[in-house]
Amino acid sequence: MAEPTTTAAWEPVPRSRTFELVLARIEEQILAGNLRVGDRLPPERELVELLGVSRAAVREALRVLEAQGVLRSRVGTGPASGSVISAMPSEGLTQFLRLHMALANFPLPDVVEARATLERSSARLAAERATDDDLARMDEPLRRMDDTGLSREEFNDCDTAFHVAIAEAGGNRLMADMTVAVRSAVRTALLTAFHKLDDWEAVSARLRAEHHAVYDAIALRDTERAGDLVEAHIRGFHQHIGHLRG
Ligand SMILES: [Zn+2]
């Protein structure tokens, strides 16, 4: 092993890192409430002047924010041009979590724990607040899953739709977005597990029955039972597929 060279310890900060400082400035404005959903960012050349940085740094920062789903760029000139703060950061959050899950930055037991906790709360809120429309949105994927001829992929999609409908019925946007993000993060893992099951008939029958019981508890406004059942449903399934992993 060679001696560490002294030149390796301290290098000048690359100029390209300036974009991170631009990012920090824009974040500051968002956190301070100066920039809200639908607001337009100052034009590129104005940001260059305001922040005293290069055009390249500003562009790089805007690209990062777009990729995060925070900014939406509008092309063209005039009052409608430029970058606008996006109203749908949940897509960015979903994508972000999905990629980190794929890279195994979150161990599965942690994800199961998070799902169980989140969805328990969502189910309780749904039991308190679900409207007839909300119940209809939960019922739809439930009916579709009753079809025993459904492919495992279709079943998984309906399963997701059911859980998302519960989260949305709770009326808490943040919880719903987080549920969607975590759920879509485990989508591939769940689907892989579905395909490996050699007792699919029995497992899907059990999942079906559990979903109906959760739905009934929500429809009957039984807060405690709705929370308990959804948590048991999530933990039970992951316990069952646990032996398939590795
Ligand atoms: Zn389910």
Instruction: Note the pLDDT tens digit of each residue in 105-122.
Output: 677 788 889 889 999 999
Name the residue among 57, 29, 32, 54 with its Cα closest to residue 42: 29
Write the CB contacts of 107 (distance below 8 Å, at least 6 apart in sequence): none
At 238, list the tokens. 């992951």
Q: Ligand 1 centre and the CA of 220: distance in Å? A: 19
At 211, list the tokens. 């979903």
Q: Which class in CATH covers the domain with range 14-85?
A: mainly alpha
At 246, list the tokens. 């590795």
At 180, list the tokens. 């969607």
Q: Ligand 1 centre and the CA of 234: distance in Å? A: 7
89 pLDDT exceeds 70? no
| pLDDT, position 5 | 54
Q: Ligand 1 centre and the CA of 130: distance in Å? A: 18
Residue 197: pLDDT band (50, 70, 90) is confident
| Model confidence, pTM | 0.72
| pLDDT, position 37 | 86
The mean per-residue pLDDT over the stretch 187-205 comes to 86
Instruction: Note the pLDDT tens digit of each residue in 218-245.
Output: 999 999 999 999 999 999 988 887 755 4
- Looking at the chain, the domain(s) classified CATH 1.20.120.530 span 90-242
Q: Other C-beta atoms within 10 Å of 187: how many?
A: 16
**The CATH homologous superfamily of the domain defined by 90-242:** GntR ligand-binding domain-like (1.20.120.530)
Q: Other C-beta atoms within 10 Å of 119: how many?
A: 26
Q: Ligand 1 centre and the CA of 135: distance in Å? A: 16
Q: Ligand 1 centre and the CA of 89: distance in Å? A: 25
Q: Ligand 1 centre and the CA of 159: distance in Å? A: 5
Instruction: Note the pLDDT tens digit of each residue in 123-174.
Output: 999 999 999 999 999 999 999 999 999 999 999 999 989 999 999 999 888 8
d(CA 186, CA 192): 10
Q: What does the DSSP 8-state code read for residue 72?
A: E
The one-letter amino acid at 18: T
| pLDDT, position 246 | 36
| pLDDT, position 80 | 55
Instruction: Note the pLDDT tens digit of each residue in 21-79.
Output: 999 999 899 889 898 888 988 888 899 999 999 999 999 999 988 888 888 876 666 65
Say how many Å lie between the first and final Cα of the chain, rounded: 35
Q: Ligand 1 centre and the CA of 163: distance in Å? A: 6
More confidently predicted of 218 and 199: 218
Q: Ligand 1 centre and the CA of 155: distance in Å? A: 10
- Looking at the chain, the domain(s) classified CATH 1.10.10.10 span 14-85
Residue 96: pLDDT band (50, 70, 90) is confident
Q: What does the DSSP 8-state code read for residue 53?
A: -
Write the CB contacts of 58 (distance below 8 Å, at least 6 apart in sequence): 19, 22, 44, 47, 48, 51
